[in-house]
Chains A and B, each alone.
Chain A
Amino acid sequence: MRESINISLPSKPEYVSIARLTASFVANQMGFDIETIEDIKLAVGEACNNAILHSGSEETYKLEFINHSDSLIIEVVDHGKGFSVDNVKAPNAEDLQENGLGLFIMKSLMDTVEIESNEGSGTKIIMSKIVE
């Protein structure tokens, strides 16, 4: 079985909660436990933040939630300016920075996270979580 839900949102902070609510709803329907639903919600929020921070406010970005047998696959695609994935480091408690935490959080909470980003052509984040 493979079913998907697609939404397109303006690249503006005030709409991110729609993506998070959708994530919670889909994860709940698929039978994830409460703790995992919170994790998925945060990972989706971070992916949306990333899309917004790297694209202009006149643009939109797309989310796709795919229910594929026992896993939830989430794709977040923007057409912003992209960024260099290699520059992202794990946070260091001695020297905490405001930036770079989002990707780290996504990678920590999801089972898999793939990021395709090219400067100038936007970013695609694909992440997945298996229902235990």
Chain B
Amino acid sequence: MALRLNTNYNENAKSWEIELIGEVDINSKALLKDELIQLNEKKQSDFVFKCENLEYIDSTGLGVLISFYKNVKLNNKTVHFEKLKPSILKIFTLTGLDRIFSIRN
């Protein structure tokens, strides 16, 4: 299973919504990274990651999210994660990412 991304700008919430579908790993991280950079160039705003269908993420995928978070924070914007599966939430907690990202389950 690869990674599929659905992206949309929510005018009401004034934020980018990114649905992550599948796996963010060493093979798909470049796709995610490029897309995020493009969206952030198009419009600087908050980012909401919808993770209901995110099946897998590894350290390389987390690395992309960490460096992206650092960029977004420079613009005084935030990054939210919604509906993480228990196995994914476990990795966020294990690595301490639950303390820097806003997680809404």
**Are A99 and B63 CB-contacts (below 8 A) given A14-B27, A16-B25?**
yes
Interface of B is mostly: helix
Interface size on B, residues (CB 8 A): 23
> Which of B43-51, B74-82, B91-99 is found at the contact surface with chain A?
B91-99
Contact among A49, A92, A105 with B91 in the assembled complex (CB-CB below 8 Å): A105
Chain A interface size, as a band, is 20 to 34
Q: How far is the CB of A109 from chain B (nearest CB, A)?
A: 8
Which residues of chain A from 70 to 97 have any CB-CB distance to chain B below 8 Å in the complex?
91-93, 96-97
A132 CB-CB contact with B under 8 Å: no
A31 CB-CB contact with B under 8 Å: no
Q: Is the CB of A92 within 8 A of B96?
A: yes
Chain A contacts of B99 at CB under 8 A? Answer: 93
Contact among A17, A38, A52, A91 with B87 in the assembled complex (CB-CB below 8 Å): A38
Q: How far is the CB of B72 from chain A (nearest CB, A)?
A: 14
B67 CB-CB contact with A under 8 Å: yes
B62 CB-CB contact with A under 8 Å: yes
25 inter-chain pairs at a CB distance below 8 angstroms, sorted by A residue, are: A14-B27, A17-B23, A17-B25, A17-B27, A41-B56, A42-B91, A45-B25, A46-B58, A48-B26, A49-B59, A52-B26, A92-B96, A93-B97, A93-B99, A96-B66, A96-B95, A96-B96, A98-B66, A101-B63, A102-B58, A104-B59, A105-B58, A105-B59, A105-B91, A108-B94
Q: Which residues of A contact B (CB under 8 A)?
A: 13-14, 16-17, 20, 35, 38, 41-42, 45-46, 48-49, 52, 91-93, 96-99, 101-102, 104-105, 108-109
7 closest A-B pairs by CB: A98-B63, A93-B96, A101-B59, A13-B27, A102-B59, A38-B87, A13-B26
Q: Which residues of B contact A (CB under 8 A)?
A: 1, 23, 25-27, 56, 58-60, 62-64, 66-67, 86-87, 91, 94-97, 99-100
Given A38-B87, A45-B25, A91-B95, 6 extra CB contacts under 8 A = A17-B25, A45-B56, A49-B26, A93-B96, A93-B97, A105-B58
